[in-house]
Chain A
Amino acid sequence: MRLEMGSFPVTDIVFGPATRYDAGRLTVDREAVLAAVKQDPRIATAELEIARPGESVRIWPVRDVIEPRVKVEGPGVCYPGICGRDIATVGRGRTHRLAGMGVVEVSSVNWHDAGGDFVETHLDMSGPYSEMYPYHRLINLCLVVEPDRTLNEEVKNYAVHKAALTVSDQLGEAVRSLTPPEREIFELTPVDPSLPRVVYIWCVHSPQAMSGSPSAFCTATYGLTQLTPPWYLHPNEILDGALTGPYRTAFAMSWTVANNPLFLDLYRRHGRDWNFLGVISLRTEWTTQTEKQLMANQTAKLAQQLGAQGAVVTWDAGGNEFIEVVRSIQACERLGIKTVFLTSEDDATDGAPTMLEPLPEADAIVSTSFFKNVTLAVPETPGVARVIGLPTKTVRRGSTIGLHGGVDGVALPTSGPLPPPWRYDDHYGFGSLSCIE
């Protein structure tokens, strides 16, 4: 399976009479793009706004950031399966991407109506908290979109994400027939058999247990989010967006999954430093001990059948999902597969372990540290000059200090000072911020 990735760096976005790409400058026909979005009768309102790095801009509520990708040659479509898109197996041929930009899905639509999960990410394009996320370096085209409020939550989710993908597709079409300034070939070529064989165990949350619905939204595999046994994916499928979707934490949105630096480095060093075997994608938040252990066993068995000698493991959640993740590590180690685990840490208040279940087999861990606003008493985010999205933010789980210390369930002006993000879990190692000693 060979994939050629053509990259079109975006250095500026402007609105203009026709959507086109020219030497880094992306002109967007706002009316035509919005007309395409509004063809879906489930969409009530839609607007487009541009946010540039360094501007005093806050975007709220952010459900997803998407990198426009378009399939130029080969079967299927980029970001397959989700919102009713073609499910043909992707990863072959040629794909074009608009690099250095994001389509931001801005909407009040919640993930599901079962409670406990709510959209809480806001993005600052400048200021001390902009550095937390990789998106502040992107030129962001924001789709502020609201669906027909009489729809149920699942249909609302479907409609607003489909709208964001429609914008992404419209931009992708602008570079379909152009010659990409940058090209990269991705292929799992036969390599020196003495190189160590390494698999990536990429654990992705399923909202099924929390929502009570098998089709609730989050990072999807060809559109599916329900609890399923481990998938074996060719890395080219990931490059074409087979793993994608809006997400409740900012570090596993579509853009972050598509640009996961750990995954890309594993792939680019194939044949040089190791033999990359591909991706085992493990769904997490199974809800019995038996299921969690079964998934761990099956993940390790699959890795062994692939001939893995080593495995790199990441996850994108917090809480009880840790059990199937760490037990997959344990099961791999017991089969002789060496593992490295990339993870953030838990709150060690009152002497609690920084890992929910610290098993001795998980003895090679790269920590992306610990951040919880309440425990660390981090200061507020300062106010901004312009807001894209909703004028108020209902703050939940606010920090305990500052102007809004301890607020919960209170609506604050989005443009003013806001409590910092509740947690910061850099799932894939994007960040370069250092810690507070």
Chain B
Amino acid sequence: MISAIYNFALTTGANRVIRGARIEHVCGDPTLSPEKDYAFGMRIVTAALETLTVAVPGPTLFDPMAPGKEAAHAS
């Protein structure tokens, strides 16, 4: 589940919670240029898809915006 209010998503029992941008634009940022907005959205969606390959013991938060993540996805 991609959510901007991720703590709430965790307490409702979603196993894989991916931190989104904001409630009104969960996978985007209208302040960015179209190209950067696309890349930003891809980063979140790709991170969400990758979590499906990871076994989790229970509700777990994944943060695509965490430091170091960008370099990992660029490779």
A residues with CB within 8 A of B: 209-210, 212, 287-289, 292-293, 320, 323, 356-357
Partner of B24 from the list A209, A323, A357 (CB cut-off 8 Å) is: A209
Least CB separation from B23: chain A residue: A287
Complex CA–CA separation, A210 to B23 (angstroms): 10
Contact A288 B24 (CB under 8 A): no
Given contacts A287-B23, A320-B5, 9 further A-B contacts (CB under 8 A): A209-B22, A210-B24, A288-B5, A289-B4, A289-B6, A289-B19, A320-B8, A323-B5, A356-B8
Of B4, B7, B8, B11, which one neighbours A287 at CB under 8 angstroms?
B4
Asked if A288 and B8 sit within 8 Å, CB to CB, the answer is no
Complex: how many Å from CA A212 to CA B22? 13
Task: Write the residues of chain B forming the contact surface with A, with a CB cutoff of 8 angstroms.
Answer: 4-8, 11, 19, 21-24
Contact B11 A357 (CB under 8 A): yes
Q: Which chain B residue lies CB-closest to A210?
A: B24
Contact A292 B24 (CB under 8 A): no
Interface of B (DSSP majority class): mixed
Count CB-based A-B contacts (< 8 Å).
30
B7 touching A289 by the CB < 8 A rule? yes
Q: Are A288 and B11 in contact (CB under 8 A)?
A: no
27 contacts between A and B (CB under 8 A): A209-B22, A209-B24, A210-B24, A212-B24, A287-B4, A287-B22, A287-B24, A288-B4, A288-B5, A288-B21, A288-B22, A288-B23, A289-B5, A289-B6, A289-B7, A289-B8, A289-B19, A292-B5, A293-B7, A320-B5, A320-B8, A320-B23, A323-B5, A323-B8, A356-B8, A357-B8, A357-B11
A82 to B6 alpha-carbon distance, docked (Å): 35
Distance A199 CA – B23 CA, assembled complex (angstroms):
30
| A293 to B5 CA separation, bound complex (whole angstroms) | 10
Point out the residues of chain A lying under 8 angstroms from B6, CB to CB. Answer: 289
Closest to B25 in A: A287
Are A209 and B23 neighbours in the complex by a CB distance under 8 Å?
Answer: yes
Interface centre among A212, A287, A293, A323 (most CB of B within 10 A): A287
Please give, as numbers and ranges, the residues of chain A lying within 8 Å of B23 by CB-CB distance: 209, 287-288, 320
Q: In the complex, what residues of B have CB within 8 A of residue A356's CB?
A: 8
Q: Closest CB of chain A to B28's CB: distance in Å?
A: 13
| Cβ of A318 to closest chain B Cβ, rounded Å | 14
CB distance from B42 to the nearest CB of A (A): 20
Residues of chain A lying within 8 A (CB to CB) of residue B24: 209-210, 212, 287
Residues of B within 8 A of A212 (CB): 24
C-alpha spacing A289/B4, complex, angstroms: 6
Within 8 Å CB of B22, what residues of A?
209, 287-288
Q: Give chain A nearest CB distance to B26 CB in angstroms.
A: 10
